A = this chain, B = another copy of it.
Protein backbone atom coordinates (compact mmCIF):
# COMPACT_ATOMS: atom_id res chain seq x y z
CA UNK A 1 0.00 0.00 0.00
CA UNK A 2 1.50 3.24 -1.10
CA UNK A 3 -0.07 6.67 -0.88
CA UNK A 4 1.70 8.24 -3.87
CA UNK A 5 0.16 5.57 -6.11
CA UNK A 6 -3.25 7.01 -5.50
CA UNK A 7 -4.78 9.90 -7.36
CA UNK A 8 -8.37 10.82 -8.12
CA UNK A 9 -9.59 9.60 -11.49
CA UNK A 10 -10.48 12.29 -13.97
CA UNK A 11 -14.19 12.81 -14.47
CA UNK A 12 -15.38 11.62 -17.84
CA UNK A 13 -18.17 9.97 -19.74
CA UNK A 14 -17.41 6.80 -17.80
CA UNK A 15 -16.09 3.66 -19.36
CA UNK A 16 -18.51 0.96 -18.36
CA UNK A 17 -16.12 -1.90 -18.79
CA UNK A 18 -12.38 -1.45 -18.61
CA UNK A 19 -10.12 -1.25 -21.61
CA UNK A 20 -7.70 -3.94 -22.60
CA UNK A 21 -4.55 -1.96 -22.19
CA UNK A 22 -3.14 1.15 -20.62
CA UNK A 23 -2.70 3.05 -23.87
CA UNK A 24 -6.34 4.11 -24.07
CA UNK A 25 -6.69 5.48 -20.55
CA UNK A 26 -7.47 9.16 -20.26
CA UNK A 27 -5.37 9.67 -17.16
CA UNK A 28 -4.26 13.27 -16.73
CA UNK A 29 -1.11 14.34 -18.51
CA UNK A 30 0.88 15.15 -15.45
CA UNK A 31 3.80 13.45 -13.77
CA UNK A 32 1.33 11.53 -11.59
CA UNK A 33 -0.76 10.54 -14.59
CA UNK A 34 2.35 9.34 -16.40
CA UNK A 35 3.38 7.40 -13.32
CA UNK A 36 -0.02 5.70 -13.17
CA UNK A 37 0.14 4.78 -16.83
CA UNK A 38 3.61 3.38 -16.36
CA UNK A 39 2.49 1.31 -13.36
CA UNK A 40 -0.18 -0.09 -15.66
CA UNK A 41 2.38 -0.84 -18.35
CA UNK A 42 4.48 -2.79 -15.89
CA UNK A 43 1.44 -4.80 -14.74
CA UNK A 44 0.27 -5.54 -18.28
CA UNK A 45 3.77 -6.54 -19.37
CA UNK A 46 4.36 -8.90 -16.46
CA UNK A 47 0.82 -10.27 -16.80
CA UNK A 48 1.24 -11.01 -20.51
CA UNK A 49 4.86 -12.19 -20.55
CA UNK A 50 5.95 -12.90 -16.98
CA UNK A 51 7.84 -14.16 -15.15
CA UNK A 52 10.25 -11.41 -16.19
CA UNK A 53 13.25 -9.73 -14.59
CA UNK A 54 13.16 -6.00 -13.91
CA UNK A 55 15.65 -5.52 -16.71
CA UNK A 56 13.40 -7.41 -19.13
CA UNK A 57 10.39 -5.31 -18.11
CA UNK A 58 12.45 -2.15 -18.60
CA UNK A 59 13.46 -3.17 -22.10
CA UNK A 60 9.89 -4.19 -23.01
CA UNK A 61 8.37 -0.85 -22.05
CA UNK A 62 11.24 1.43 -22.94
CA UNK A 63 11.94 2.91 -19.51
CA UNK A 64 15.19 2.86 -17.57
CA UNK A 65 15.84 0.01 -15.18
CA UNK A 66 15.90 2.49 -12.29
CA UNK A 67 12.48 3.88 -13.20
CA UNK A 68 11.06 0.37 -13.53
CA UNK A 69 12.52 -0.66 -10.18
CA UNK A 70 10.73 2.16 -8.40
CA UNK A 71 7.45 1.19 -10.06
CA UNK A 72 7.96 -2.50 -9.32
CA UNK A 73 8.76 -1.81 -5.67
CA UNK A 74 5.44 -0.06 -5.26
CA UNK A 75 3.56 -2.85 -7.00
CA UNK A 76 5.26 -5.47 -4.82
CA UNK A 77 4.44 -3.46 -1.66
CA UNK A 78 0.80 -3.24 -2.83
CA UNK A 79 0.64 -7.01 -3.27
CA UNK A 80 0.04 -6.86 -7.04
CA UNK A 81 3.40 -8.30 -8.08
CA UNK A 82 5.48 -11.05 -6.47
CA UNK A 83 9.18 -11.71 -6.57
CA UNK A 84 9.83 -15.32 -7.56
CA UNK A 85 13.59 -15.29 -6.88
CA UNK A 86 15.06 -16.64 -3.63
CA UNK A 87 13.84 -14.22 -1.03
CA UNK A 88 16.58 -12.98 1.24
CA UNK A 89 15.71 -10.31 3.76
CA UNK A 90 16.68 -6.89 2.50
CA UNK A 91 17.55 -8.15 -0.97
CA UNK A 92 14.09 -8.48 -2.40
CA UNK A 93 14.74 -6.15 -5.28
CA UNK A 94 18.08 -7.45 -6.39
CA UNK A 95 18.78 -7.89 -10.12
CA UNK A 96 17.79 -11.19 -11.71
CA UNK A 97 14.89 -11.94 -9.41
CA UNK A 98 11.90 -12.78 -11.60
CA UNK A 99 8.59 -10.96 -11.23
CA UNK A 100 5.11 -12.41 -11.61
CA UNK A 101 1.63 -11.08 -10.99
CA UNK A 102 0.42 -12.06 -7.58
CA UNK A 103 -1.71 -15.14 -6.98
CA UNK A 104 -2.84 -13.68 -3.67
CA UNK A 105 -3.72 -9.99 -4.06
CA UNK A 106 -6.94 -8.78 -5.64
CA UNK A 107 -9.46 -11.12 -7.27
CA UNK A 108 -12.13 -10.34 -9.84
CA UNK A 109 -15.62 -11.58 -9.01
CA UNK A 110 -17.90 -12.36 -11.93
CA UNK A 111 -21.58 -13.21 -11.59
CA UNK A 112 -24.23 -14.15 -14.11
CA UNK A 113 -28.00 -13.90 -13.93
CA UNK A 114 -29.30 -16.21 -16.63
CA UNK A 115 -32.86 -17.04 -17.57
CA UNK A 116 -32.34 -20.52 -16.05
CA UNK A 117 -29.36 -20.18 -13.76
CA UNK A 118 -27.21 -18.11 -11.43
CA UNK A 119 -23.43 -18.36 -11.41
CA UNK A 120 -20.47 -16.80 -9.61
CA UNK A 121 -16.75 -17.16 -10.11
CA UNK A 122 -13.60 -15.58 -8.70
CA UNK A 123 -10.47 -15.16 -10.81
CA UNK A 124 -7.04 -14.10 -9.54
CA UNK A 125 -4.64 -11.69 -11.25
CA UNK A 126 -3.07 -14.64 -13.04
CA UNK A 127 -6.40 -15.48 -14.61
CA UNK A 128 -6.90 -18.67 -12.59
CA UNK A 129 -10.39 -19.52 -11.42
CA UNK A 130 -10.18 -19.76 -7.63
CA UNK A 131 -13.82 -20.33 -6.81
CA UNK A 132 -16.94 -21.14 -8.83
CA UNK A 133 -20.58 -21.90 -8.09
CA UNK A 134 -23.61 -22.47 -10.34
CA UNK A 135 -27.28 -22.86 -9.36
CA UNK A 136 -29.91 -23.96 -11.84
CA UNK A 137 -33.01 -21.94 -11.09
CA UNK A 138 -35.77 -20.60 -13.36
CA UNK A 139 -35.45 -16.82 -13.02
CA UNK A 140 -38.03 -15.80 -15.56
CA UNK A 141 -40.72 -13.71 -13.91
CA UNK A 142 -39.08 -13.78 -10.46
CA UNK A 143 -38.54 -10.43 -8.74
CA UNK A 144 -35.08 -8.87 -8.85
CA UNK A 145 -35.09 -8.83 -5.02
CA UNK A 146 -35.56 -12.60 -4.80
CA UNK A 147 -33.06 -13.38 -7.53
CA UNK A 148 -30.37 -11.09 -6.16
CA UNK A 149 -30.86 -12.41 -2.62
CA UNK A 150 -29.97 -15.85 -3.94
CA UNK A 151 -27.12 -14.45 -6.01
CA UNK A 152 -25.74 -12.66 -2.93
CA UNK A 153 -25.70 -15.91 -0.98
CA UNK A 154 -23.67 -17.59 -3.77
CA UNK A 155 -21.44 -14.55 -3.94
CA UNK A 156 -20.64 -14.41 -0.23
CA UNK A 157 -19.79 -18.09 -0.22
CA UNK A 158 -17.35 -17.61 -3.13
CA UNK A 159 -15.78 -14.56 -1.52
CA UNK A 160 -15.39 -16.36 1.80
CA UNK A 161 -13.57 -19.17 0.00
CA UNK A 162 -11.04 -16.89 -1.69
CA UNK A 163 -10.48 -14.80 1.44
CA UNK A 164 -9.40 -18.00 3.17
CA UNK A 165 -6.68 -18.21 0.53
CA UNK A 166 -5.43 -14.67 1.08
CA UNK A 167 -7.22 -13.04 -1.85
CA UNK A 168 -9.57 -10.07 -1.62
CA UNK A 169 -12.35 -9.01 -4.00
CA UNK A 170 -11.31 -6.01 -6.11
CA UNK A 171 -14.75 -5.68 -7.66
CA UNK A 172 -17.84 -7.44 -8.91
CA UNK A 173 -19.21 -7.53 -12.47
CA UNK A 174 -22.70 -8.95 -12.96
CA UNK A 175 -23.69 -10.12 -16.45
CA UNK A 176 -27.39 -9.87 -17.27
CA UNK A 177 -29.44 -10.80 -20.36
CA UNK A 178 -30.73 -7.30 -21.03
CA UNK A 179 -29.99 -3.67 -21.76
CA UNK A 180 -27.86 -1.95 -19.14
CA UNK A 181 -27.69 1.85 -18.76
CA UNK A 182 -24.35 3.63 -18.93
CA UNK A 183 -24.38 4.01 -15.16
CA UNK A 184 -23.42 0.30 -15.19
CA UNK A 185 -25.92 -0.38 -12.41
CA UNK A 186 -29.37 -0.13 -13.93
CA UNK A 187 -31.02 -2.87 -15.98
CA UNK A 188 -33.19 -0.87 -18.33
CA UNK A 189 -34.91 -3.83 -19.95
CA UNK A 190 -34.42 -7.58 -19.57
CA UNK A 191 -37.54 -8.94 -21.29
CA UNK A 192 -36.72 -12.60 -20.72
CA UNK A 193 -36.44 -12.03 -16.97
CA UNK A 194 -39.33 -9.56 -16.92
CA UNK A 195 -37.21 -6.82 -15.35
CA UNK A 196 -37.10 -3.17 -16.27
CA UNK A 197 -35.51 -0.06 -14.77
CA UNK A 198 -33.99 -2.04 -11.94
CA UNK A 199 -31.04 -0.64 -9.99
CA UNK A 200 -29.04 -3.74 -9.11
CA UNK A 201 -26.68 -1.63 -6.99
CA UNK A 202 -29.37 -1.28 -4.35
CA UNK A 203 -29.83 -5.06 -4.17
CA UNK A 204 -26.22 -6.20 -3.85
CA UNK A 205 -23.72 -5.84 -0.99
CA UNK A 206 -22.22 -2.35 -1.03
CA UNK A 207 -18.71 -3.63 -0.17
CA UNK A 208 -17.99 -4.75 -3.75
CA UNK A 209 -17.34 -2.05 -6.37
CA UNK A 210 -20.08 -2.99 -8.83
CA UNK A 211 -20.38 -3.09 -12.62
CA UNK A 212 -23.53 -4.42 -14.25
CA UNK A 213 -23.04 -5.38 -17.88
CA UNK A 214 -24.87 -6.97 -20.77
CA UNK A 215 -24.05 -10.68 -20.99
CA UNK A 216 -23.32 -10.57 -24.73
CA UNK A 217 -20.77 -7.84 -24.04
CA UNK A 218 -19.17 -9.93 -21.28
CA UNK A 219 -19.02 -12.87 -23.68
CA UNK A 220 -17.32 -10.72 -26.30
CA UNK A 221 -14.73 -9.50 -23.82
CA UNK A 222 -14.02 -13.06 -22.73
CA UNK A 223 -13.38 -13.92 -26.37
CA UNK A 224 -11.08 -10.91 -26.74
CA UNK A 225 -9.07 -11.69 -23.62
CA UNK A 226 -9.18 -15.48 -23.49
CA UNK A 227 -10.09 -16.69 -26.97
CA UNK A 228 -7.67 -18.63 -29.14
CA UNK A 229 -5.96 -16.21 -31.51
CA UNK A 230 -8.83 -13.75 -31.12
CA UNK A 231 -8.67 -10.74 -33.40
CA UNK A 232 -8.96 -7.18 -32.08
CA UNK A 233 -11.86 -6.23 -34.37
CA UNK A 234 -14.71 -8.67 -34.30
CA UNK A 235 -18.38 -9.18 -33.77
CA UNK A 236 -19.21 -11.73 -31.09
CA UNK A 237 -22.69 -13.17 -31.47
CA UNK A 238 -24.34 -15.05 -28.65
CA UNK A 239 -27.84 -16.27 -27.94
CA UNK A 240 -29.95 -17.55 -25.17
CA UNK A 241 -33.60 -16.80 -25.77
CA UNK A 242 -32.59 -13.41 -27.10
CA UNK A 243 -29.74 -12.82 -29.51
CA UNK A 244 -27.06 -10.34 -28.59
CA UNK A 245 -23.76 -9.24 -29.99
CA UNK A 246 -20.65 -7.55 -28.71
CA UNK A 247 -18.99 -5.16 -31.11
CA UNK A 248 -15.25 -5.09 -30.43
CA UNK A 249 -13.29 -2.41 -32.27
CA UNK A 250 -9.53 -2.25 -31.96
CA UNK A 251 -9.70 -4.21 -28.71
CA UNK A 252 -12.39 -1.96 -27.20
CA UNK A 253 -16.01 -2.77 -26.58
CA UNK A 254 -18.38 -0.46 -28.42
CA UNK A 255 -21.08 0.44 -25.90
CA UNK A 256 -23.22 2.95 -27.76
CA UNK A 257 -24.68 6.21 -26.62
CA UNK A 258 -27.03 4.69 -24.05
CA UNK A 259 -25.00 1.50 -23.56
CA UNK A 260 -27.33 -0.48 -25.85
CA UNK A 261 -25.07 -1.27 -28.81
CA UNK A 262 -24.99 -4.82 -30.17
CA UNK A 263 -28.74 -5.48 -30.36
CA UNK A 264 -28.32 -7.82 -33.33
CA UNK A 265 -31.50 -9.67 -32.34
CA UNK A 266 -33.61 -6.74 -33.49
CA UNK A 267 -31.99 -6.15 -36.85
CA UNK A 268 -34.79 -6.60 -39.44
CA UNK A 269 -34.21 -9.72 -41.52
CA UNK A 270 -37.53 -9.81 -43.39
CA UNK A 271 -39.20 -6.44 -42.92
CA UNK A 272 -42.70 -7.89 -43.32
CA UNK A 273 -42.04 -10.94 -41.15
CA UNK A 274 -43.67 -11.88 -37.84
CA UNK A 275 -44.21 -9.29 -35.13
CA UNK A 276 -41.57 -9.00 -32.45
CA UNK A 277 -41.91 -7.86 -28.82
CA UNK A 278 -39.69 -4.87 -29.68
CA UNK A 279 -42.45 -3.40 -31.85
CA UNK A 280 -40.75 -4.33 -35.11
CA UNK A 281 -41.38 -7.12 -37.60
CA UNK A 282 -39.18 -9.88 -38.89
CA UNK A 283 -36.34 -9.23 -36.40
CA UNK A 284 -33.50 -11.77 -36.34
CA UNK A 285 -34.75 -13.05 -32.97
CA UNK A 286 -37.95 -14.20 -34.69
CA UNK A 287 -35.89 -16.60 -36.81
CA UNK A 288 -32.80 -17.52 -34.84
CA UNK A 289 -33.63 -17.11 -31.13
CA UNK A 290 -33.82 -20.38 -29.22
CA UNK A 291 -37.59 -20.29 -28.80
CA UNK A 292 -38.15 -19.35 -32.43
CA UNK A 293 -36.05 -22.31 -33.56
CA UNK A 294 -37.89 -24.68 -31.21
CA UNK A 295 -41.20 -23.38 -32.52
CA UNK A 296 -40.07 -23.82 -36.13
CA UNK A 297 -39.02 -27.38 -35.31
CA UNK A 298 -42.36 -28.12 -33.63
CA UNK A 299 -40.80 -28.61 -30.18
CA UNK A 300 -41.86 -27.30 -26.75
CA UNK A 301 -39.47 -24.84 -25.05
CA UNK A 302 -38.15 -26.45 -21.89
CA UNK A 303 -35.13 -25.80 -19.71
CA UNK A 304 -32.28 -27.27 -21.72
CA UNK A 305 -33.25 -25.76 -25.05
CA UNK A 306 -29.85 -25.98 -26.71
CA UNK A 307 -29.30 -29.54 -25.49
CA UNK A 308 -32.65 -30.58 -26.92
CA UNK A 309 -31.97 -29.00 -30.32
CA UNK A 310 -28.40 -30.29 -30.54
CA UNK A 311 -29.49 -33.81 -29.54
CA UNK A 312 -32.26 -33.95 -32.14
CA UNK A 313 -30.06 -32.43 -34.84
CA UNK A 314 -27.38 -34.99 -34.09
CA UNK A 315 -29.94 -37.77 -34.54
CA UNK A 316 -30.79 -36.32 -37.93
CA UNK A 317 -34.27 -35.01 -37.08
CA UNK A 318 -35.23 -33.30 -40.37
CA UNK A 319 -37.53 -30.67 -38.80
CA UNK A 320 -34.82 -29.59 -36.35
CA UNK A 321 -32.16 -29.56 -39.03
CA UNK A 322 -34.34 -27.48 -41.30
CA UNK A 323 -35.15 -25.07 -38.48
CA UNK A 324 -31.44 -24.64 -37.73
CA UNK A 325 -30.63 -24.24 -41.43
CA UNK A 326 -33.21 -21.44 -41.67
CA UNK A 327 -31.89 -19.84 -38.48
CA UNK A 328 -28.41 -19.86 -40.04
CA UNK A 329 -29.78 -18.17 -43.15
CA UNK A 330 -31.41 -15.45 -41.04
CA UNK A 331 -28.16 -14.98 -39.10
CA UNK A 332 -26.33 -14.69 -42.43
CA UNK A 333 -28.69 -11.93 -43.63
CA UNK A 334 -28.41 -9.94 -40.39
CA UNK A 335 -24.64 -10.42 -40.28
CA UNK A 336 -24.30 -9.21 -43.89
CA UNK A 337 -25.69 -5.89 -42.71
CA UNK A 338 -23.49 -5.85 -39.63
CA UNK A 339 -20.35 -6.71 -41.60
CA UNK A 340 -21.09 -3.98 -44.14
CA UNK A 341 -21.46 -1.42 -41.36
CA UNK A 342 -18.57 -2.47 -39.14
CA UNK A 343 -16.06 -4.27 -41.39
CA UNK A 344 -14.85 -6.55 -38.59
CA UNK A 345 -11.92 -8.91 -38.96
CA UNK A 346 -14.19 -11.84 -38.11
CA UNK A 347 -17.48 -12.96 -36.62
CA UNK A 348 -17.36 -15.32 -33.64
CA UNK A 349 -20.34 -17.41 -32.55
CA UNK A 350 -20.35 -17.84 -28.79
CA UNK A 351 -22.61 -18.70 -25.89
CA UNK A 352 -25.41 -21.16 -26.59
CA UNK A 353 -24.97 -20.68 -30.34
CA UNK A 354 -21.60 -22.37 -30.22
CA UNK A 355 -23.34 -25.65 -29.32
CA UNK A 356 -25.52 -25.43 -32.42
CA UNK A 357 -22.80 -24.24 -34.77
CA UNK A 358 -22.45 -27.44 -36.81
CA UNK A 359 -26.01 -27.00 -38.10
CA UNK A 360 -26.09 -23.19 -38.29
CA UNK A 361 -22.76 -22.52 -39.94
CA UNK A 362 -23.24 -23.92 -43.45
CA UNK A 363 -26.26 -21.78 -44.33
CA UNK A 364 -24.91 -18.81 -42.37
CA UNK A 365 -21.60 -18.86 -44.24
CA UNK A 366 -23.13 -19.36 -47.66
CA UNK A 367 -25.60 -16.51 -47.11
CA UNK A 368 -22.79 -14.20 -46.04
CA UNK A 369 -20.61 -15.25 -48.98
CA UNK A 370 -23.24 -14.78 -51.66
CA UNK A 371 -24.13 -11.30 -50.36
CA UNK A 372 -20.56 -10.06 -50.16
CA UNK A 373 -18.37 -8.55 -52.86
CA UNK A 374 -14.85 -9.90 -52.40
CA UNK A 375 -13.90 -12.44 -49.75
CA UNK A 376 -16.59 -12.94 -47.10
CA UNK A 377 -15.90 -12.17 -43.48
CA UNK A 378 -14.66 -15.34 -41.71
CA UNK A 379 -17.00 -16.87 -39.12
CA UNK A 380 -15.63 -18.99 -36.30
CA UNK A 381 -16.95 -20.66 -33.16
CA UNK A 382 -15.84 -19.65 -29.69
CA UNK A 383 -14.10 -22.35 -27.67
CA UNK A 384 -15.32 -20.79 -24.42
CA UNK A 385 -18.88 -22.04 -24.91
CA UNK A 386 -21.58 -20.95 -22.47
CA UNK A 387 -18.99 -20.04 -19.80
CA UNK A 388 -17.92 -16.97 -21.78
CA UNK A 389 -20.04 -14.26 -20.15
CA UNK A 390 -19.19 -15.37 -16.59
CA UNK A 391 -15.46 -15.47 -17.34
CA UNK A 392 -15.66 -12.14 -19.15
CA UNK A 393 -17.37 -10.58 -16.13
CA UNK A 394 -14.67 -11.78 -13.70
CA UNK A 395 -11.82 -10.86 -16.04
CA UNK A 396 -13.21 -7.36 -16.59
CA UNK A 397 -12.45 -6.69 -12.91
CA UNK A 398 -8.92 -8.05 -13.32
CA UNK A 399 -8.40 -5.92 -16.43
CA UNK A 400 -9.48 -2.89 -14.42
CA UNK A 401 -6.71 -3.65 -11.93
CA UNK A 402 -4.10 -4.07 -14.67
CA UNK A 403 -5.27 -0.86 -16.35
CA UNK A 404 -4.95 1.24 -13.21
CA UNK A 405 -3.12 -0.57 -10.43
CA UNK A 406 -3.03 2.64 -8.38
CA UNK A 407 -6.80 2.56 -8.01
CA UNK A 408 -6.73 -0.68 -6.03
CA UNK A 409 -3.36 -0.34 -4.33
CA UNK A 410 -4.90 1.88 -1.71
CA UNK A 411 -7.39 -0.76 -0.74
CA UNK A 412 -4.83 -3.58 -0.65
Number of identical monomers bound together in the oligomeric complex: 2
- Mark each residue of chain A from 325 to 347: 1 if its CB lies under 8 Å from any CB of chain B, else 0: 00000000110111011111100
Assembled-state Cα–Cα distance A23/B13 (Å): 13
Taking the complex as formed, is A62 at the interface, i.e. its CB lies under 8 A from any CB of chain B? yes
- What residues of B have a CB within 8 angstroms of the CB of A247 in the complex? 341-342
- Contact indicator A62/B279 (Cβ below 8 Å): no
How many residues of A are in contact with the other chain, CB < 8 A?
58
Decide: A371 near B29, CB < 8 A? Known: A256-B343, A256-B344: no
Taking the complex as formed, is A258 at the interface, i.e. its CB lies under 8 A from any CB of chain B? yes
Stretch at the interface among A130-138, A262-270, A381-389: A262-270
- Contact indicator B370/A279 (Cβ below 8 Å): yes
- Contact indicator A257/B41 (Cβ below 8 Å): no
- What residues of B have a CB within 8 angstroms of the CB of A233 in the complex? 256-257
Q: Which listed residue (B270, B279, B342) contacts A373, Cβ 8 A?
A: B279
Q: Which listed residue (B30, B264, B277, B374) contacts A341, Cβ 8 A?
A: B264
- Contact indicator B267/A343 (Cβ below 8 Å): no
A149 to chain B, nearest CB (A): 29
Assembled-state Cα–Cα distance A255/B250 (Å): 10
Taking the complex as formed, is A37 at the interface, i.e. its CB lies under 8 A from any CB of chain B? yes
- Contact indicator B341/A28 (Cβ below 8 Å): no
Closest residue of B by beta carbon distance from A336? B268
Taking the complex as formed, is A278 at the interface, i.e. its CB lies under 8 A from any CB of chain B? yes
Taking the complex as formed, is A372 at the interface, i.e. its CB lies under 8 A from any CB of chain B? yes
- What residues of B have a CB within 8 angstroms of the CB of A48 in the complex? none
- Contact indicator B345/A257 (Cβ below 8 Å): yes
Shortest Cβ-Cβ A-B pairs, 5 listed: A256-B343, A280-B371, A267-B337, A263-B340, A261-B343
